Amino acid sequence: FLLYGPGFEHIIDRFTTLTGKPPLLPKPVFGLSYHTRTGGDTQTPGGFARFREEGYPIDGCITFINRSWNEKNDDQVRKVSDAIHDMNGWVVGYLDSTDSYVGMLMDTDFPYRQWAPYREHLTERLFKQGIDSIYMDELEGRGTMFQLRALKETYDAMSRAYPGRRAVVLARGGFTGCQRYAYWWMGDTGPHAGSARSTVRAQLGHGLAGLPLTTHDLGGYTGPGSKAGCVRGAQLNFLQPMAHLNCYRSKGEPWSWDKETEEIFMKFDRLHYRLLPYWYSCAWQAHTTGMPVWRHLVFSDSAYYDKDAEFMVGDWLYFAPVLDEGTSRPVFIPKGRWIDYFTGQVFDGPSTIESYEVPLDRTPLFVKAGAIIPMGPEQRHVNEKPGSPLTLDLYPYGCPESHHVLYEDDGISTKYLEGESCTTPIEMREGQDGIAVVIQPRQGGFTPPNRDFEVLLHGIKSK
């Protein structure tokens, strides 16, 4: 097949039309997920409970179904699942395709032989005991058809176990077509300062290859390495739809360092949750067009091939993360007008700032002039509040006209595939008489809960 643009967004849309668009993930996946073995294998991980007790927003608890879990009876699995559900958690079961009994049931010889024992084990031992989704490790290096079949069988087994509910698989490994069944994390990376640059490049590469939904271990799989690594890692991780904290081999929890680390971690955790309406609309874009959330600048301008340490986050945010442990970095400002999210300072591009100063509690995050960013309320998990108030964060800054589409559905069922969803077009126009903000009527078969709208205008010199 020859796929022509003219733009990269057209190529990605056509490529994923050919190879498959990703499904919409359930809303809890867009919160923070926490992976640890603290508290032992036979009880709720203690770290998840501490996140809850101290008020950190969190949703997913990743628990082991590996070697030791093979010896557990169903009552023990149910006990762990129930305890996490009682804390409004989403239970993610870890398995790998090499060491675990679950993995050994996979048909590694040929992808079209009998997969029934694998599906039955997933259903009886995991899904019927309350495991909500699967975190699948070590698929790479075993052949493209095996990877595709393993993810498909896992996804299909989950869909049958929970009819009418969205299945979700987090995977390490998978090639073209696997985006129909899973989203990705970047594997066992090193400390933030040594691996963040390659992590960013890998995620941007995934987006250019038709795999639009990705994440990585906050601060690195082997640990952030330092307080600064933990903070910079949190800033990088929380500015993506699926935040993922893996503390299996590391001191990644904010309380492992000091009070300042906890405060900054909380700040960006709360920002991530407030951005939930934005993340969800980005996921809808990925589902309908294949457009990645982290977008290489080549999507904006073909002159930006060489930019691989800064990128767009959805339609309106531009991110140049600190990829080491410093408090400054050179920042390229693309064509257009951009506003520092934290200071309000305005920049016109294209230009380069040789040393952009950012203290530890900030990161180089910019908003595009004309931005319409839907923001939700502060909440401790994605279903705590019915999305009220819904705040429209607006940045006119001389942009004559801009548009945004807010996507909504029930966040958990597959009814969106049957038309039970809605889009709300939002417009902003700036002229001599002032600024007009127009919220158009919803389109579609889903009616969200009653809520208040707030309109927050930035950069306005007079009312």
Q: Model confidence over 244-300: pLDDT tens digits?
A: 998 877 788 999 999 999 999 999 999 999 999 999 999 999 999 999 999 999 999
Predicted pLDDT of residue 5? 87
Predicted pLDDT of residue 41? 47
**Tokens representing residue 79 in the block:** 């006990």
H or E stretch covering 243: strand 243-246
Q: How many CA atoms lie within 13 A of 439 on its CB side?
A: 12
Contact (Cβ atoms closer than 8 angstroms) between residue 234 and residue 270: no
pLDDT beneath 70, residues of the chain: 37-45, 64-74, 98-104, 108-113
Predicted pLDDT of residue 42? 47
Predicted pLDDT of residue 70? 53
Predicted pLDDT of residue 110? 62
Predicted pLDDT of residue 125? 82
pTM: 0.95
Contact (Cβ atoms closer than 8 angstroms) between residue 165 and residue 27: no
First-last CA distance in the chain: 55
Q: What is the pLDDT of residues 351-401, one digit of tens each?
A: 999 999 999 999 999 999 999 999 999 999 999 998 889 999 999 999 999
- The SS3 call for residue 346 is strand
Predicted pLDDT of residue 120? 87
Q: What length is written for the chain? A: 463
Predicted pLDDT of residue 27? 96
Strands 90-96 and 60-64: parallel
Predicted pLDDT of residue 103? 67
C-alpha dihedral sign at 156, 161, 163, 165: negative
Predicted pLDDT of residue 72? 56
Cα separation, 216 vs 221, in Å, equals 9
CA distances from 436 to 196, 393, 399, 427, 457 (A): 41, 14, 12, 8, 11
